Amino acid sequence: MLPNYRIYGDSGPSVYILHGIFGMLDNWHYAAGILSQHYRVITFDARNHGRSFHHEDAGFDAMCEDLLGLMNHLSDDSPIVVGHSMGGKTAMTFAERHPDRISGLIVVDIAPKAYPAGHGEYFKAFHDIDFARVQSRKEAETLFEPYAPDAGVRQFLLKNLEPGPGGGYQLKINAAALEKYYPELIGDLHLSRGYAGPTLFVRGEKSGYIKDTDMPHILNFFPNAALQTIAGAGHWVHADNPSDFISCISDFIVAHSQS
């Protein structure tokens, strides 16, 4: 089964972009639009996200197979793969499994290591709130506030709501599957061979997801990796400083993409 996808641009080397947990392809609309001036950019909803299919398996193996299936469907042999957060872990796993299918790897604000749980309140909100009874997005935001006090995070999470067939709202995401696989999604990747091809790790200056002390571990599995820091950006690097972020990854794509 193919994930829901969108293609920006119709010429140049291909670039695939993988979003993070609770995200969707729309999160990358601006960056994809800019990159499509020179590249064929493919964004897609990971399984159990956005408008893609729901499945009880929400692990990295399954998400890698989805990416491989989409690349085969679109006849792409050597694209650049960009992955943010959860998507970055999927991209790292894919690069190890299928190094011959990509020409380069860009990992955005995530390392191949375990992270402490930090999404418990959001899962609780998805469980606790009866969205079918919610009459407006304003009401949904008010109900969500105790679980996500930060307004930006709330707006991001509320993108997962859509009007329900019988009134009110319903979730686009498969929260149950994501919660079941959450320990894997935040856990150590347990890489074995890694990926020896060209790799760029990009972090936000204000984010703590990739620390300087992580670089020896990263280089153990990605020996040709470089690290760049985007000024003024947090975890959502592509949204916090899109100009510098796009400039940064464009230089890498120019150097390593194959026509």
The one catalytic residue among 235, 238, 256, 257: 235
In the residue annotation, 85 being an active-site residue is answered as: yes
Separation of alpha carbons 19 and 198, rounded Å: 21
In the residue annotation, 75 being an active-site residue is answered as: no
Give the pLDDT band (50/70/90) at residue 259: low
Q: Where are the domains of the chain?
A: 5-114+188-256, 120-180
pLDDT for 258 equals 76
Write the pLDDT tens digit of every residue in 37-72. 999 999 999 999 999 999 999 999 999 999 999 999
Non-local (6+) Cβ contacts of 197 within 8 A are 95, 99, 102, 103, 104, 105, 224
| Residue 206, both tokens | 């204000």
Topology (CATH level 3) of domain 5-114+188-256: Rossmann fold (3.40.50)
The one catalytic residue among 14, 52, 85, 257: 85
The answer to whether 113 touches 49, Cβ cutoff 8 Å, is no
First to last CA, the chain: 27
pLDDT higher than 70, residue 144: yes
Write the pLDDT tens digit of every residue in 92-133. 999 999 999 999 999 999 999 999 999 999 999 999 999 999
Separation of alpha carbons 242 and 236, rounded Å: 10
